[in-house]
């Protein structure tokens, strides 16, 4: 006979919802609305950052900024995967904070690119708007996690 195990003793990955990952469930909905997928949004954002970095001029400044932008611009996507696999609330919060820190760094590099007029204003504007929204999302997640940890 199988012994019942309380939920606290059973490991459940953070990424589960309805039996699978949201990204793997076509047309997933919650209360009649499409299910929000932060990972997909981060993936699209990262693609935009990589394309922007590739479009920077081949100058000393352009190459330096491009390298920095690629480093911090690809980090939130990778670290979000780490957030989903966090082993404790403390680990979860730490990895959320890393994502937020990297997003804030991206924001600064994008502002510098704009000030130096190194990229097309339209592409830069959209990327800047998206990073500001992602910063708000991750900052709210950090605040909520900190509040719930008490």
Q: How would residue 23 be classed by pLDDT, with cut points 50, 70 and 90?
A: very low
Q: Look up the pTM and report it.
A: 0.76
pLDDT given for residue 1 in this prediction: 52
Average per-residue pLDDT for the chain:
84
pLDDT surpassing 60 at residue 3: no
In the predicted model, is pLDDT for residue 11 greater than 90? no
- The Cα–Cα gap between 114 and 5 comes to 56
Nearest residue to 65 (alpha-carbon basis) of 17, 108, 96: 108
> Over 70: is that where the pLDDT of 64 sits?
yes
């Amino acid at each position: 006979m199988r012994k019942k195990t309380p939920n606290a003793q059973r490991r459940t990955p953070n990424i589960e919802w309805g039996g699978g990952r949201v990204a793997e469930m076509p047309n997933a909905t919650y209360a009649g609305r499409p299910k929000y997928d932060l990972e997909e949004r981060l993936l699209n954002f990262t693609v935009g950052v990589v394309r922007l970095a590739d479009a920077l001029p081949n100058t000393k400044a352009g190459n330096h900024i491009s390298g920095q932008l690629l480093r911090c611009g690809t980090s939130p996507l990778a670290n979000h995967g780490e957030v989903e696999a966090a082993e404790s609330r403390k680990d979860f919060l730490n990895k959320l904070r890393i994502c937020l820190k990297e997003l804030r760094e991206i924001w600064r590099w994008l502002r510098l690119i704009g000030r130096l007029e190194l990229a097309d204003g339209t592409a830069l504007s959209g990327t800047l708007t998206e990073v500001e929204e992602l910063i708000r999302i991750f900052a709210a997640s950090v605040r909520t996690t900190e509040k719930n940890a008490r």
